[in-house]
Amino acid sequence: MKEKNDDVQAVWNACLEMIKDNIPERSFNTWFSPIKPMGLRGQVLTIQVPSQYYLEYIEGNYWQLLKAAIHKVLGTEGKLEYNVLITNTKGGTITVPPSSIGKVDVQNRHFPIMVDENTNPKEIPNPFILPGLKKLNIHSQLNKDLGFENFIEGECNRLARAAGFAIAEQPGKTAFNPLFIYSSVGLGKTHLANAIGLETKMKNPEMTVLYVDAETFLRQYVEAARGNNINDFIHFYQMLDMLIIDDIQFLSGKTKTQDILFHIFNSFHQKSKQIILTADKSPAEIVGFEQRLLSRFRWGLAADLQVPDKETRIKIIRSKLYNNGIEFITEEVVEYLATRIVTNVREIEGAIISILAQSSLNKKKITVELARQMIDKFVSNTTHDISIDYIQKVVCDYNKTNVSTLFSLSRKRDVVLIRQISMYFSKKYTKFSLAQIGLQCGNKDHATVLHACRTVENLIKTNPDFREKMEEIDVILKSS
């Protein structure tokens, strides 16, 4: 179709016909009906959009379709130029002239926007500090007690922690954008996310960092929608340099809020700003999210925080005790706590607080017996929560040998049998696979574990003395 310099409306109508045939009517009415054609110069079509939000949304969702329509109507050299309406402080509107925006080449998918310095744009409301906003006044909402100095490093979190340090050095400039941290409850997601934010602020004090949990983000969106302030809500978040959203799974099924997040995400990524998300599942396992958003969660690094191993639990316990003013405590108590509290860090904290309170109020010395009395009130251990570490300790204590014996290369019959018993009870009382049990029982393979279990079962059936010993160990484990 030949270009029509004298009939901009006809050119835009021809574009709209093609667009309308390729998207749902509701989407067309929402995103394209409000657009007005303003002028046509050669192969450059100027259109007016209601807001920057409209422009960014169209760029993020319909640029391929726009490109095809413009090229069909104006030829392969066709270009777009935008006028953007901005609300001023008096409630009127200001049209940003095309000269302030520049031409947009749909072939290169580039949509630069520059607000005219002579305009007086509306002050954007801060959903955290109302009314009004100055960027420097945005409070980070970070918890200063959750820094790297008290985030204990272990094999369970080393990757995520290292990525966090790299991000703090160069926010938005690493391959870890977004950083998606996931784990079960109580393993340190919120702590690590806060630590990254605090470290970033310390190294880059000029940057604006914001921590927000997903429920707060959702509530703010709902309030903005009710007040017809969606654009302000989006613009507020787009002003940030680093955005940390905790427990993103709470946005599951919230399609409108996800749509806004998608928008903010695109803006951050295009401007090389850092996004950090936490969730209880990996991007591959999380449900109730649009695929386009899930795909963006996978753009950077997805790092999981695992249940801390015994060595890390000991470090955590010592750190918590020291931070609570306890500089000396017997290794026996620390060892007991590390083998009995295996689910998460939060339970370790709860157990230590209860033990310290009991010791202080009743002027009792912290002993293994006191720890044993208090733990049952605060740690929800069942037979399924017994750790392999604890099983190994019980079996070795019963046989009056050191746990390190299990990991030796000794092929003595009594050592092999103790190792096999540990594997047997690990299979009985944990949900680990045979391969996982073998890995924690001297780096053995699953076939070795399977053989060990069959050997122990045969001995229980054929040897009364052995069966009696196994029953005694079983009682200890069940009562623990």
Q: How far apart are CA 179 and CA 276, in angstroms?
A: 5
- For residue 124, the surrounding DSSP H or E stretch is none
* Alpha-carbon torsion (257, 259, 265, 271), positive or negative: negative
pLDDT in tens, the chain (480 residues): 444 445 788 888 988 988 888 888 877 887 888 888 888 888 888 888 877 667 767 776 777 788 888 888 888 888 888 777 654 434 444 444 443 333 344 433 333 333 333 334 444 455 554 344 444 457 888 999 899 988 988 888 889 999 999 999 999 989 899 999 998 777 889 999 999 999 999 999 889 999 999 989 998 898 888 888 888 888 889 889 999 999 999 898 888 899 999 989 988 988 899 999 999 888 888 878 988 898 889 888 999 888 788 888 888 888 877 777 776 677 788 887 777 776 667 777 777 777 777 777 777 777 777 777 777 665 544 344 578 888 988 899 888 888 888 888 888 888 999 999 999 999 988 877 788 788 788 778 888 999 999 999 999 999 999 999 999 898 888 765
253: how many CB neighbours lie within 10 A of its CB? 10
Contact indicator for 473, 394 with CB cutoff of 8 Å: yes
Here the tokens at position 344 are: 């998460």
Q: CA angle, 13 as apex, 41 and 116 as ends, to 5°?
A: 50
Residues of the chain with CATH 1.10.1750.10: 387-479
Residues of the chain with CATH 3.30.300.180: 8-104
Whether the upstream peptide bond of residue 178 has omega within 30° of 0, thus cis, is yes
Q: How far apart are CA 454 and CA 432, in angstroms?
A: 17
Here the tokens at position 121 are: 């744009």
- Smallest CA-to-CA distance from 74 within 126, 37, 24 is with 37
Residues of the chain with CATH 1.10.8.60: 310-381
Report H helices in 285-412: 291-297, 310-323, 331-340, 345-361, 368-378, 388-398
451: how many CB neighbours lie within 10 A of its CB? 14
* CATH placement of domain 8-104: 3.30.300.180
For the domain with range 148-304, which CATH number is right: 3.40.50.300, 2.40.160.20, 3.30.470.20, 3.40.1160.10? Answer: 3.40.50.300
pTM of the model: 0.52
Residues of the chain with CATH 3.40.50.300: 148-304
For the domain with range 310-381, which CATH number is right: 1.10.8.60, 3.30.450.20, 3.40.50.1100, 1.10.287.3510? Answer: 1.10.8.60
Whether the upstream peptide bond of residue 205 has omega within 30° of 0, thus cis, is no
Q: CA angle, 331 as apex, 327 and 334 as ends, to 5°?
A: 80
Q: Which fold has domain 387-479?
A: Chromosomal Replication Initiator Protein Dnaa; Chain: A; (1.10.1750)
